[in-house]
Amino acid sequence: MEMFHLALQLKALNLELSEDMLVHLVLISLPNQFSQFKISYNCQKEKWSLNELISYCVQEEERLKQDKTESAHYASTSKDKGKKRMNEAVKGPNAKKNKQDKDKKGCFFCDKDDHVKKDCPKYHAWRAKKGLPELPKAK
């Protein structure tokens, strides 16, 4: 329709385009969704007038709207967000190693089994060297 109006404006300026040329310009300006429509036009022996082309374009546009399928995406979240991520991390290639670390008893700082981290002399020395305050004594 826009090209039809432009053609009328050109005609008012004594620059007239032939109807075949105008139909051709309209066809090449159609978007990619009309590719099947263009192919069917090019396969015909008869040529359409501008009014016929407009009416067929309207029909094709309606057909494309009907063929267009609507879809919705569903997303949900779990109440146990943190647990799920933790389980996913444990299931990786180091799952066995992570499981052993959880079951391990003893000091996590120096890896000795006879004490825990809060009682580790090396850990207390390290904290003192860093200038960190002493840990409170256990009751």
Domain ranges of the chain: 2-67, 104-139
Residue 32 pLDDT: 85
The helix or strand, by DSSP H or E, that contains position 128, with its residue range, turns out to be: helix 121-130
Neighbouring C-beta atoms of residue 23, cutoff 10 Å: 20
What mean pLDDT comes out for the span 86-103?
Answer: 56
The rounded mean pLDDT for the chain is: 76
Cβ neighbors of 42 (< 8 A, separation 6 or more) are none
pLDDT tops 60 at residue 39? yes
94 confidence band (pLDDT: 50, 70, 90): low
pLDDT tops 60 at residue 43? yes
Question: Under the phi-then-psi rule, with left for phi > 0, alpha for psi from -120 to 50, and beta for the rest, what region is 18?
Answer: beta
